[in-house]
Structure 1
Amino acid sequence: MVERIFPFGATYIAGGDFPPKEDAKKDLEKMKKLGFTVFRTWVSRSSIEQKAGVYDFSEIEEFLNVANDVGIKCVLTVDAGFPPDITREEIGEGIIGVNTKIGKPYPHFQPCFDNPHVRRGTAEYLTALSSHFKNHPALYCWISWNEPHITYSDIACYCEYSVEKFRKWLNAKYGGLEGVNTAWNERFKSFSEVYPPNRPLRSWGKYKPWLDWRAFCDDNLAEWVGFVSNALKKGDPNHPTHTNLLFHQILYNQPAVGADTWKMAKAVDSLGVSIYLWTQGGGDFPWCFSQIVDTVRSAAESEGKEAWVTELQGGPTIWAHSKSVTPSPKQIELWAWQTVARGGKGLIYWLWRPRIGNVHSGWENNEFGLVSKDGELRPRAEAAGKACRTITKNADLFLNARPNAKIAILQSQTCKNAAASEIPDETIFHPYEGQRRYYTQSQLGAYKILWEEKIPCDFINPPSIAAGMLNRYKVLIMPFTYMLDEPSANAIKNFVRKGGCVIADFGCAMKDEYGAVHITSPGFGLDEVFGAYSYDIETPDDDESLKVKIKPVIEGSIFEANLPLYAFREILKPYDKAKVIGEFINGEPAIVENHFGGGKTVLVGTLMFQSYLLKGGGWRTFVKKLLHSCGVKSPVDVENVPSTLWCNIEIGFLEHEDGKTEVVVLLNHNREDLDLNIRMQNVYSVIDLETGKELSLERKDENTYLKMMIKGKSARILKAEK
């Protein structure tokens, strides 16, 4: 088995468009000297298989031998999605979309893995590759697929093989043609008449066929990645497999790429993500970075696996992305600690030395490098090495500690797929732009509240809820969960009955998972759980607010506020035992609190989380009060910070599996240096992991107080013993 390490490094490719091969040893030695434990590289099938079925592994073997001599491990990326030139004519067309055929020019060829010819040749190659290198001492793991997606503009492949596979998928789901006819309201006489839809919902496409097609595309791409992983495992059962998703399909809503984060987690041994938030995601939004990592980590951990940041901007962009920016050395280091703070178990920067050639990717030339184009160290690389050395020195601590969240945010791929088709603004790559991004911005707003309150959280999807995984949490948050299936609804009902708390806003369970509207919503009996039902929907004035008055159990003080509405005024009709704790300006119920079994619920009749993201106001305090009443607080309190700066202090809180040790990562995303007063509970010793020094503490009852200074755009990493 592979020795467990914290994989920290950068992508390094030699030859072709990249630095010359003869520089490999000295470049890898520089990485090793900085403390890097791995480097990532690509293996080119076109270079290896220049004659069908005949493989020449000498080039990559020579590279790995150099790595072994240096003493650094290799994360090897296979290019399964790009067959060699010699087979492209045999394969014919690649992905066939609604409006395009992605087959030529050949450098951008994307084959369809539903084509049996593609599968056969690819499987043979991958198994031969992994079998050849399975015992190489420099190999750390395989990346089965880099940034898996089908297309950006079209939905998926409509070739004959994909269509036939879709028919078999429908047959398995509905138990035959009669079931498909009933579900789709059709009269097909045979499966040969069944075709995937090519008209999105806003183009008068049919709801159920469209969502079935989208679900199939998610399943299918995950199956493709699993196929590649299995082919590698056949030749090398010992080294793990990995894939890295695109960040914008996680943070924003781009379902056309066909990647469901949770389904991808099933296809590989560890799950990663490529993050270019500054250059492609709108700008410097540190909470967005954390949300991406927490989402990937949650999906991976649901399968008992680990999460990495597999690609992270290491240097300047000029024109390759939508924004030109060079991260500072402080930012390079801060991102590393942010990854650790959210429970990430690996980090690889893109890339070590920039491209210099012009054959395939000249448009990325001289970009992204941690070092200069001639290989000389830059302060960015030194900063990455500084973080790496502390992480490596304490690898056992970081690898065996994770966030112990008491809150889960519900994230639904069904809602994402439907919302992207129903709501025009959903696919914008920016947290604040767009007016009708109800699903995406509700997710962003819910996470932002918890991030600013320093409260750790996980994400959870409906299948995990239906499987009983809610039992590990105290609170479930449902941001604009307007579509929900019955098994998940029943699991939520049982969660509340057993003492859980659920907070939901506008549109909760308005539709089932196929878009049918419930006459009484929240549907599937959740109206009884929330103690109210949706009576009507109205449009508020832009500056309209609602009045709320609550008295949480724990704090005892009454909270009164006027909270801004967004987009909708959903009139709620409470049942007899429910309590109205918020009213619209006309006196109609706006927020209903209900006790159901041993737990409680709060239903809000507007887009609360989107309102907070776009308007701010008192929603964060409102949610905090609700969470406190459910027994959920931040495990670490930070005091003595001006309110304008407090929100940009991030705290990562990880609990070690020994039950006695905690890791506290304090991150200052402000430019200003700050003096912090920190309060923790039941802690007797705190060590600064960068200096190794024990810090002075003041104890009072069960509280431990600590004073420290943290520089702007910097982190402090603490080990606390209970």
Structure 2
Amino acid sequence: MSNINFCKHLLAAMIAAACVSCGSQTQVPNAQAPSTQSPETEASLTLKETALQKIHTLEALMLNASDQGIDVTREETAVWFAKEFLKYADWDEANPAQIEKFFESYSPFKEQKSEYASYLPQFEREQVIVILDKGIDALTKVLAGEITRRPVAKVDWQNIDVKQDMFVSKGKPIFLYDYFSKSMGNPTSDERLYNDYLGSVDHIPSINPYWLKQDGTVQDWRMGQLKNYPNKDVGYALLWNSGIPDWMLEQEPEIQKGRSLFTGFDIDNPLIRQSWSTIIKETGKASASHNATKMGFILSNEPHWYSEKGHWTQNFGEMTSISTYTLAKFQTWLSNKYTNIHELNNNWQTNFGDFQSVAIDIPVDPSIRGSAKWYDWCRFNMDRSIDWFTFLQNELHSVNPNADTSIKIMPDVFTENNRSHGIDLEALTELTTMIGDDAKTRGRDLRSQTPEEWEAHYAYFWEELAVSYDFMESVAPNKIHFNSETHFLSSSWWRELDTSPEYVRNTFWLATLMGMDAGLSWFWARDPDGSPEERLEGKLEFFDPAMAGSYAASTGMQPQVANELTQVMMDLNSYSEEIMALRKQRRPVRLFYSETSAINKPNHMTELFKMYEPLFFEGFPMGYATQNIIQKQDNSSWDVVVVYKTEYVTDAEFNALQSYLNNGGTVILDSATSLAKNEYGQPRQAVLAAGQGRLITMPTDADESDIKHKALEFVSANNPLVNLTEVNSTGHKACTWRVVKKPDGKGYWMTIVNLGSSSANLVITAKDAGDLTATDMLTGKNLGNQFDLASNGVLLLELN
């Protein structure tokens, strides 16, 4: 909803609220259960009084259900959030100036700060009533036998086993949930913040360079704090790299050259490496076998080193120059890359006398993208960050070889077109023992003045989540996937105060289906008394450009959002074995990915998505193939590799594809222009040959649909096991789905996620022409084999 439309909603709601005091009936949006009060009685109650009455009604139903042996964890959750948000609404109502300041700090809401602040308490109470009405309605139907549901499988936060590719609780897969940066200033032992409702993922104090004293030893009080940390709930450690102590600055004047937004130092600096070696070894030893590090060490928060002129990170001093250490490292890298300086000069069109005299202007001018100099710098920038994270992990494993690791990588560094950032997602995903990220989904970017392209078909922007997850899961199919800062509920340039609970369920279901084993949502900033956390009580001056505006329209202001996040995770955990079976499937179609083309081309990822998108809705998980995947993984894990608009590849990448063909593989080439150049744009004389496999080069007039249908010809007949036919108002497939045979061989499990902007009419048929009937596993209702699924709808089905 746009700011203008929402303001109209605010004004209408404020008028309705004013009528409460004069006896008019308050309109409660989306109430789904009959009122427990007569119209005359309810009209005379305030919103808070109405909510309290509904809490009483729901608690009475819960007592009745418990007496009958019915699990009421879902209703306990709704009541907990209802009581919390009534408290929050009271605080917000008593502190309008503070709330107005938060809305003022987020520029898209700044002009309507007074309206937002004035309406917020009413909005929160209205939403509390909605979640209570839903709870009353659902439990009433359970008691009447209209719906059946599986009891909630609660997380045993203190007894989590870390298996190769999953967290396990009570012998079954478990999906962990919580909030990153949860109400700073409160201990993780506070059960008002760490519980089954908000999640109870622990974390040891953030580790940073300030832990080290000038004499090269770690602060005694820090080590004592770590050694005495309570060994209770499962958790993680985070290496926080933003700042450095003054003594390091005095000792190494260049130490901040080449710094980035969240890495406040030069990763090539010897003092930094020596310091981090000491810190990570000491903390690694002290926290070994501790529950609070079972989810591993996050080696960095959102690392990137954007190094081109004009990028927004330049405003924050990122990569405005490089140190002599980095330059020397680049010169050595070039000397290993090239046979001699003459070869480099020919490529760069320069006249350096030797490698030691090679220089480059940083930040680089993006106008040289596609040149040899651009490629060499971008590739080196990636290689040096790989070296940095390899160093950190090796130091940790030298003292704690069993420590898990991940990196909170922003997936948009992969899904967007820029490649000057120094992040090789494939290499870093291979390196660490867990997959790490902070993927986002969103509605329309609040800076957009017109609808975005995806809005023609979809309910929200899902590209970043899906593309990056399919890629990372293709690279590391047998690793735990830890999203340590999910941005599904808000991001820097998107949030809606009236975010729908259907959107919440859809995004978390999709992310979990695609591989996410744990997700810490951004962010929970309420103290238990309803006030904002301590960082938000001052002047809101932060180095992080997004922090000051983060509280406005965040989850702590939205009862339906907070409640639905927990409800969907409880449902996913109650059916965790089915979800794991649905996501552990072959990826029969692999889209070839070359970092070489991504570096050289200004729009490679945009082009590649046009081929990925139509294949995403065919009933199987999409996959990627790279040189490393082809060389390191079992090639029988897929049926066909599609090469699409990939003009630039190294000889090694080309040879990997040829080897795959020689061993009997199938490759579809979109045109003769793909694979035609090396990393420097020089024509390649060799062309792919079929070898022992099949090589299909598409006609020049073939489009993405033609290539998709050709690829599907080579997909094995049992992938997928059933057919799903979709009809919607846009004429564009938007339901992604998975199906798997049940362990007993009698029927199937199926999940369907509607990403579309409209309702979809769906028909399920068996490939063997037998009849199928679908049962909604979350409600026990029979749907037959034809039914509608609303926009943002999610289904988990049993097919018989």
Q: Give the structure-1-normalised TM-score.
A: 0.71
Q: Which amino acid aligns with 2:510?
A: Q
Residue 598 of structure 2 aligns to which amino acid in structure 1?
Answer: K
Deviation readout 1:121-161 (Å, 9 max, x if unpaired) = 11111221222222323332211111111236459563111
Q: Which residue of 2 is the match for residue 423 of structure 1? A: none
Determine helix, strand or coil for the equivalent of 2:669: strand
Mean CA deviation greater in 43-52 or 246-255: 43-52
1:419 Cα deviation after fit:
1.1
Q: Whole-Å Cα distance in 1 between the matches of residues 618 and 271 of structure 2?
A: 53
Alignment equivalent of 2:714, drawn from 625, 630, 633: 630
Deviation at 1:481, TM superposition (A): 0.5
Mapping 1:55-74, distance limit 5 Å: 55=219, 56-57=221-222, 61=226, 65=230, 69=232, 72-74=233-235
Pairing partner for 1:492 from 632, 649, 657: 657
Distance 1:233 1:199, change over 3 A: closer
Aligned to 2:687: 525
Specify the structure having the higher radius of gyration (Cα).
2
Distance 1:507 1:82, change over 3 A: farther
Q: 1:650 aligns with which of 736, 740, 748?
A: 736
Query: CA 1:274–1:326 in 2, change beyond 3 Å: closer, same or farther?
Result: farther
User: Could you list the runs of 5+ residues in structure 1 that have no partner in the other structure?
Assistant: 421-436, 530-595, 610-618, 698-705
> 1:644 aligns to what SS in structure 2?
coil
Provide the C-alpha distance between the structure 2 equivalents of 1:661 and 1:138, rounded to a whole number of angstroms.
Answer: 41
| Deviation at residue 241 of structure 1 after TM alignment | 0.4
Find the residue that maps to 1:403 and give its secondary structure: coil
Amino acid at match of 1:627: A
Match of 1:77 in 2: 238
1:545 matched residue in structure 2: none
Say if 1:246 and 1:109 are closer, same or farther in 2 by CA, change over 3 A.
Answer: closer
* 1:299 match: 475
Deviations 1:49-107 (A, max 9, x none): 57663323379659953xx55xx32122111353345534433344546xxxx59xxx9
* Partner of residue 116, structure 1: 270
**Inter-CA distance 469–486: structure 2 relative to 1 (3 Å threshold):** farther
Alignment match, 2:503: 331
Separation of aligned partners in 1, 2:744 and 2:376: 44
Aligned-pair identity in percent equals 16
Question: Aligned partners of 1:369, 1:41: CA distance in 2, in Å?
Answer: 25
Distance 2:189 2:723 in 1: 47
The reply on whether 1:313 has 2:478 as its aligned counterpart is no
Distance 1:368 1:696, change over 3 A: closer
Alpha-carbon distance, 1:444 to partner: 1.1
Tell me how far apart the structure 1 counterparts of residues 432 and 335 of structure 2 sit (CA, whole Å): 27
SS class of match (2:238): strand
**Partner of residue 150, structure 1:** 305
Q: Which residue of 1 aligns with 2:565?
A: 384
Q: What letter is aligned with 1:363?
A: A
Cα distance change of structure 1 residues 480 and 206 upon mapping to structure 2, 3 Å threshold:
closer
Letter in 1 for 2:467: Q
- Aligned twin of 2:15: none
Supply the AA of the counterpart residue of 1:649.
C
Structure 1 residues 393-432: aligned runs within 5 Å = 393-396=574-577, 398-399=579-580, 401-420=583-602
How far residue 215 of structure 1 moved from its aligned partner, in angstroms, is: 1.2
Task: Tell me the alpha carbon deviations over residues 499-520 of structure 1, each in whole angstroms, 9 at most, x when there is no partner.
Answer: 51413147312311221134xx
> Residues 466 and 487 of structure 1 are in contact (CA less than 8 Å); yes or no, is this contact kept in structure 2?
no
Distance change in 2, residues 1:388/1:61 (3 Å): farther
Distance 1:82 1:417 in 2: 30
Higher relative contact order (CA 8 A, sep 6+): 2
- 8 Å Cα contact 1:280-1:323 kept in structure 2: no
**1:6-50 CA-partner distances (Å, limit 9, x unpaired):** 452233436xxx4442686134433x246x463567615366457
Structure 1 residues 654 and 63 mapped into 2: Cα distance closer, same or farther (>3 Å)? farther
**45-54 or 380-389: bigger deviation:** 45-54
Correspondence for 1:8 among 155, 160, 176: 176
Shift of 1:252: 1.0
Deviation at residue 489 of structure 1 after TM alignment: 2.7
Q: CA deviation at 1:228?
A: 2.1
Higher helix share: 2
Between the aligned partners of 1:660 and 1:219, the Cα distance in structure 2 is 50
Q: Report the more deviating stretch, 72-81 or 652-661.
A: 652-661
Of 502, 517, 524, which residue of structure 2 is paired with 1:345?
Answer: 517
Partner Cα distance (2:745, 2:253) in 1: 57
Match of 1:540 in 2: none
SS at match of 1:43: coil
Please give the residue correspondences for 1:80-479 in structure 2 after superposition, counting only pairs within 5 Å. Answer: 80-94=241-255, 96=257, 102=259, 110-140=264-294, 141-151=296-306, 153=308, 158-174=322-338, 189-196=353-360, 203=367, 207-278=371-442, 284-301=460-477, 304-313=478-487, 315-316=489-490, 320-321=492-493, 327-353=499-525, 356-357=536-537, 358-360=540-542, 363-367=548-552, 369-372=554-557, 378-396=559-577, 398-399=579-580, 401-420=583-602, 437=603, 439-465=604-630, 470=635, 472-479=637-644
Contact in 2 for aligned 1:345/1:399 (Cα 8 Å):
no
Give the unaligned 5+ runs of structure 2.
Answer: 1-159, 168-173, 310-317, 446-451, 455-459, 527-532
Cα distance in 2, alignment partners of residues 657 and 63 from structure 1 = 46
Q: Secondary structure at the match of 2:563?
A: helix
Aligned-residue Cα RMSD (Å) equals 4.0
Does residue 208 of structure 2 align to residue 45 of structure 1? yes
